[in-house]
Each structure stands twice: as C-alpha cells, then as structure tokens.
Chain A
C-alpha cells in the first residue's frame, strides 16, 4: 500500500459517501458487539468472583449430599430441594474438623426461613445459623453492635444479628441494637447489624437474620445436625492433603467404607472459583464466536460493495491500465479501499463498543452488581485483526477481478 493507492482509495470512498458510510457501519457494529461482549464478560467475571470475595481462597466447606450422587449433579440438588434431608453431619464432625492441624477455625451452618416480627412489622426472612467464630473464617463486618459470643452460643442464648435490609424493613431509621424481635414467636435480642453485603450466588445477604448455630438448631429447628461446615485452612499449599484427611475422618464418623457412598463432600473455594471462572470464560467465548459471524457478514458486505464498485468503475480501470497502470497498481487501489473500509469500521467499532460496554456497566451498577468497566486489549486486537483479515480476504477477489480486466474491453464500457 503506497501513498498513491491510499490517495486514490480515499477519493473513491469519498465519491460514494452513503455507500461508504453504510459499509463502515456494518463492519463497526460487528466489531462493537465483539468488544462489548468481551467487556461484559470481564464485568461478569468480576461480578461472579466478587461473590467469592467474602471467602478467602483458604476457605473449605463440608457439605451434605445425597449418597451415590455427584456433588454438582442434578440428582443431588433436586433431591435436597424436594425434601431429602441428610441428617448425619453433626457437632462431632465439626469438632474433628476444628481439631485438624491445618484448620484455623470452623463453624457449622444451618439455614431456614421464618417470620420475623418487631412491633407491628413482620417480614419473612432467611435465617442463618452461624458460628460465634464466623469472623475468623470469613469476612463479616458489622455496621453497629457486635456478633454473639461463644458463651451465648453455648448457652443457646436468643440473640440475633440483622442483615442490613432487615434492619431497614423492621426498624427504619431506629437503632435496633438492644431491641427485641420475635422469631417463630420467640423473643430474640438484637446484638448487631451487618454491613450491606449485596447478593452472593443470587441470595440476598442483607435480607437475613443471623443466629448462633446451636440456638437455631435447638430453639428454632429442633434438630441436632447441620447442613454445612465452613472452615479456614492455615496453609493453602496443604489444602489438597487436608481435604482427603477430612474426608477420611468424616467417613469414619459416618461409618462409611465406600467413598462412593459418601453423604458429604469436602470442597475448596479455589475449586469453586476456578469452576465459576471457567464457566464465565466459556460463556464469553461462545458469545464472541457467535458474534464473529456478524463480522463475517460485515466482510461479505465489503465484498459486495467492492464488486459493485469494480463493475461500476470498469471504464476507469480500463483507462488507468491503458495509460500505464500495472495490474498490481489496480489491485492495490481496490485492496486499499477494502482495507480502509474495515479499518474505519474497526475504529468506529472500538468507539461504539467502548460506549456499549459503558452502558452495560452503568446498567449493571444500577442493579447493584459488582461490575468493572474494562475494554480488554485482547478484544480490540481480536476485533480489529479479524476485520482487517476479513477486509483483505473479501476485498481480494473484487480487487483481483479489477486488476485482471482487459483494458480494451474495459474501455468499451463507458
């Protein structure tokens, strides 16, 4: 591509402004969508990963599961959702987990739902039974008041920490600390209010009430088992080892010999994070692949325009060749036009894509998602590279056609 073909190409494109603009528009929309989707993928990734931020990568969980199913399987999820309750995870397991040398701290967790009342207000709320040592295991900050103590948990004290939204719903502007609420008709003293936490895995962490696990087991649910043990490992490098050791300990506690019949599963946060990250990346990749089809359509648009242009300008090409233009001069002239079209398309596509990504970001943020606005450099490379290649590939046939025209015949077509 030299100065002359550049000059000629620009003039030719300017001579057909509407057509040029429409072609560029077609290309830039394709590129914009690729960039926007990749940026949205980044945002989505950030959102998903931020959900895990409450847990450190050292976090491990022991969850109950239906024997002979995989922990991520449908059977397990459906079974538990439709009422199969595993009742084997007990205080003894928690104590054994806590005793493991690589475990820093651990607590048992139970979940439930109940109507919570304060004076005339009553709300259905998620109840979480969590340990007094919750803050040693995961990030949990209080906006006011305090968490319950070990003594309170051991003595089955009826104390509660409110999620931020629950506090708003029940108390409005008033300070709830020290007030009494009623859960399932039983009085609970509010000792603290959690900070705003947002949603984790679709669960609104602010619309809940946290009770000591033991209190919840005995006073609310009347059970002696738990659904999950949440633990924090000391040393991340030994975590794999710890997982298998814990598995063996709990298996023994549960009198299980065949690992396939486990009624629990030990998971690490790292695994979960990787899995989620893979899912998001896979999804993004799929979308980008789909959108690349639209780039292809843009390319066909370029080819179409170039063919029309060659046909229309047959006379001009013939004349240029008659007065000394070589085949490659003509080839370059038309190829330059095609590449210019895609480059302009790429340029506007990047701008458009960045704007689109910004809009997605603003919408996501307005929905309270933890999102990032990032236009990945790789998306720009991909979009522009792909479109330049397309411009070349789809431009080369019409350009070749022009270059190989017979000047005498071309001159007859005025």
Chain B
C-alpha cells in the first residue's frame, strides 16, 4: 500500500514579503515497509521535506497524500492528530525534555494520543524502552544519559505510539560511530519488523543502511534509486534484540 505520495509538491518560505522557494514540484511515492534515505547537500531542502512529510509544516502548492488521503488542506488540529497517531520522530539533537525521567519522556506521546490510563501508558513506554535496550534506565533523568542512550530514548518515544512511519533527521549526526551504528541497527530491525522508515542524512555510508536513496539538490529530486550494496549495522552489542 502506498503510504506517502507527493504530487508536484512545492514549498516556499515567506518571511516579511521575502519568498524563499525551497522545494520544486516534487513527485514520488513511498510504500509501506520501505526504508528510504533522503540525501543531499546542506541547504538542499531535506529537513524542509521531512517537516512536510511528517505534518510539522504545510506545503505551498501541489498535493501531499498520506495513505491515499489528501492532507494538504489539513488545519493545525488535524496535523497535530496526524503527528500524534501516524508518525514518530527522531531528531539529530535528541530533543528530550530536561529534568524529566526517561520513562516520562517516552510516555509523553501517549498523553496526547488519548491514552488516559496511566498504567497503560507506563506499560507501553516500558515495552518501547525494552525494544531499544534501555529498560534499566527508566528512572534516570535524561541529562544523566550518554548521547547514544539519549537517542535510543528518542527512538523509544518515536515507537511508543506504534506509528505508521518513523522519521529520523540526521539521527547519527551527534553520535560517535559506535552509538551511531547502534541506532542504525535498531532502525534496520524496526524496518525488518515492517515499520516504514524515512531517514535524512548527508552521509552516504549512513544512507546505504536504507533500502532506497532519494537524492535532493536545490529542491529537486536528482536521483531515486535502490541501494545495491546495502550496509548492515553490526554491533557486538548485547542490548539489542
């Protein structure tokens, strides 16, 4: 089933009369279960595209269909609803709440997804943390964690709602190579389990962990091809199942 479809999708930022066109007439489809890497040089529009696909931003023209539904005209509340139900985020800067425990961070999306029973929230959050091998850090404050651990908390948070697609914008950008590999391995295994993953990166090596690479340059798609020599993240890590 087609999860994401862009039809002549474009985006321009308008700041005080100054228009900055960033994306131009993009056309592509992403099927359920894919693992797509969006690559391109700095400023090419990768993050902009990801924000649009993940309902954080609105398009300027064209169409964006999600699960066949046109979401171009969605209002703020509907977009929030989509973010809550359909997508999970992993950011380069982790974006965890400070002075808050690991468990609470992971429970956060459930709060806005109408899971009113606290016990269910705790249970689901624990499950997600087991998935990323962090169930021994439940009550740590996020600022007491290493970078790799933080990003795994972020992954657990992205997973907890069981979203249709996970977006990761440079998830390894702030990590050493070992922690980076760990993250890629989790993403790969999530994809094995059927989760659609869209990864933004400017590193070819990281991109090659995906199954397909979409190259963007100056806001247009330069190439769109399958990964031939796919990398598989190998870690000697006992944490990941």
Contacts and interface: CB of A to CB of B under 8 A. Distances in A.
Interface stretch (B27-35, B63-71, B108-116): B108-116
- The range of chain B's interface size is 20 to 34
Given A320-B112, A411-B91, A411-B95, 13 more contacts: A315-B95, A321-B80, A322-B89, A322-B95, A323-B89, A323-B157, A324-B83, A325-B84, A326-B76, A328-B77, A408-B56, A408-B57, A414-B93
B27 to A, nearest CB: 24
Contacts of A322: 56, 83, 89, 95
A323 B91 contact: no
Contacts of A124: none
A4 B76 CA distance: 21
Interface in A319-338: 319-329
Contacts of B56: 322, 407-408
B81 interface: yes
A144 to B, nearest CB: 77
Contact of A325 (B80, B85, B91, B93): B80
B51 interface: yes
Interface of B: 51, 56-57, 76-77, 80-81, 83-85, 89, 91, 93, 95, 97, 99, 108-109, 111-113, 116, 157, 161
A326 B99 contact: no
Nearest to B54: A322
B76 A324 contact: no
Contacts of B161: 324
B168 to A, nearest CB: 13
A329 B83 CA distance: 14
Contacts of B157: 323
Main secondary structure of the interface of A (DSSP, over half): helix
Contacts, number: 54
B95 A319 contact: yes
A319 B97 contact: yes
B80 A326 contact: yes
A21 B59 CA distance: 45
A203 interface: no
By Cβ-Cβ distance, the 9 closest A-B pairs, closest first, are A324-B84, A324-B112, A326-B80, A323-B109, A325-B112, A324-B83, A326-B77, A319-B95, A408-B56
Contacts of A81: none
Nearest to A414: B93
A326 B81 contact: yes
Given A4-B111, A15-B99, A326-B81, A408 B76 contact: no
A324 B85 CA distance: 8
Contacts of A408: 51, 56-57
Interface string A1-35: 00110000000000100000000000000000000
A63 interface: no
A10 to B, nearest CB: 14
A329 B57 contact: no
Contacts of A321: 80, 83
Contact of A327 (B80, B85, B111): B80
A316 B157 CA distance: 15
Contact of B109 (A3, A4, A15, A324): A324
Contacts of B76: 326-327
A328 B84 CA distance: 14
Q: Which of A324, A325, A411 has the most CB of B within 10 A?
A: A324
Nearest to B108: A323
Contacts of B111: 4, 325
26 contacts: A4-B111, A4-B116, A15-B99, A316-B97, A319-B97, A320-B108, A321-B80, A321-B83, A322-B56, A322-B83, A322-B89, A323-B109, A323-B157, A324-B84, A324-B112, A324-B161, A326-B77, A326-B81, A327-B76, A327-B77, A328-B77, A407-B56, A408-B56, A408-B57, A411-B91, A414-B93
A15 B99 CA distance: 9
Contacts of A320: 108, 112
